[in-house]
Structure 1
Amino acid sequence: MSLELSHNIVCPAPAERVYALLTDPAGWPGILTPCKAARVLSATATTQTVELTMTAGTGTATWVTERVLRPEFYGVEEGQPRPMPRVERIDTSWRVVALDPNSCVLLTEHVVDAADDAAAHVRTMIHRNIGGALVDYRAASEKPRAATPMAMPATRIRHTAQCAADADTVYGIVCDTRSWPTLFDACVGVEIVREDGNTSDVKVFAEQDGRRVSWETRRTHHPALRRVDYMLPVPMPFVAEMAGQWRVIPLEAHRCLLAVDRWWTMLDDVTGIRDGIETVTQATDFVRSYVNTNAGAEMRAIAAVAR
């Protein structure tokens, strides 16, 4: 069976400091209570292979984890195939999301493929272990540490909004694509092309700088994580591929954080699509401006209706 588990903690530190802790395996034995040793076997700017030795019951256990770094989103993806008996795989996502310049949320998401009779044990183990790790990271983040904010590439962008509503209410709004034409000024219509369980294909009709345009979005809902993954099978003009993730992160009973990450690649040839745009650089600037303007309006609209 598949398990999806989400945990988070607020850290009184800038997002870049917490991300620096998260991506510095050499420092983990001094931060994480059960960590006895951490050895980087190989590393690049965006990957790490780390051998970990952790306390496990009355002894220790050693394993290797493969990590993909997404520094533009203060993110890390980890995968562990067959980490224990009766468990086929555990995939873990880490995200650090700023609340303000001096505080942030550290979020973890686990997706587990386990045998039915192992699911309860795995759930309990993750709750216990990750709860302790989050507390340890928060304590470490309170100590001064030099860290440089990440520069966002031209084809990556993040938007956030704090909402005065519970996380489930906001997640429900995010999932309701039929409400978009009344919720978002730029959206003039939607067509539900296909719905299958937690996945849907939606055609979006929108105004883009005075012109009617359309694209299709494929959305996969993860209710237990309050996350929606999306990609565009039919992208918007100038774009070869686009994907992203919507997350709703609970903070308090009636307060949550909405965070949306988007990334895309441009067409190699953008000529003939729109007058005045002849180069990839011009098209990139146009798409980023459009996404930034509309995404900001979307965040404000969702926060307002959720109030």
Structure 2
Amino acid sequence: MPEPAEHYTRHSVTVKASAEAVYGLIADVEQWPHVFPPTIHAERLDRDGGTERIRLWALANDEVKTWTSRRELDRPAWTIRFRQEVTPAPAAAMSGEWILVPQSPHETKVLLDHRFRAIDDAPDGVRWLRQAVERNSVSELGRLRTAAELAEGIDAVRLSFEDSVRIRGDLGTVYEFLNDAGRWPQRLPHVTRVDLSEKAPGIQDMEMDTRTIDGTTHTTRSVRVCFPGRSIVYKQTVLPAAMAAHTGAWRLDQDGETVAATSQHTVVLDRAGVTNLLGPDATVEQAKEIVRTALGKNSRATLEHARQFAEARRG
């Protein structure tokens, strides 16, 4: 049986930033969820010199796919080659390359190449893959340009923080409370509605209405990746106006008869959104304080109710 045909695409964008700045954003794969809209979660599995293995969870045509890839990073040549080792259907193979071409000390052309084969050369599979590669490449390159062209760098608009509680109980019970978010409207006073679906084991799509400090309600949508007995990581795909990205995690660690339960958030603010929401004189630091207060309040409330749930179960 002949091998499926290989298909090739190239996408490009010109970024008003140095090759060094652009390369750094592409190379740091664990920051991709904060930069690239399709990426839900990213992990670096191992690294040896300029070669690394990564695992990604990402949206492709509005479906969550996960895969592992091997990457070869060549900073002197401004290239990063990648090849999927475990490839999700309908792809039989997927590889490609990021190529940076400095145009000047402050301008870089970015080329993103993909080569892929569809299982059994199925026409529907080829069409699905072409659409996914097109949508994700355009989205990623656009946000890469936005992030790289921030005059002060992405760290100036990024906020990370965490809150923790100690719980006298079993880690499995605490995880049950956090995983079963469909029951949060009955268990959490700040949550008024949750629509939760799990089309694949451990991959949850959650739409939630939350009551804010001023009594109004806002709707968010998130994709959650669940690691039983360890953590739940998530990324909001429908965001409040002032945010460009919001990722988070619930992390659990059993320590004797207690569980350390931690809520972690990383938010990238949208400068235009901050101005539109808070007024022309609002600063990023003011927005960070508002975000920290609002998200921290809800997270601490969730952790406190998880503590009560687990400790009551323990008796």
TM-score (norm 1): 0.49
Larger relative helix fraction: 2
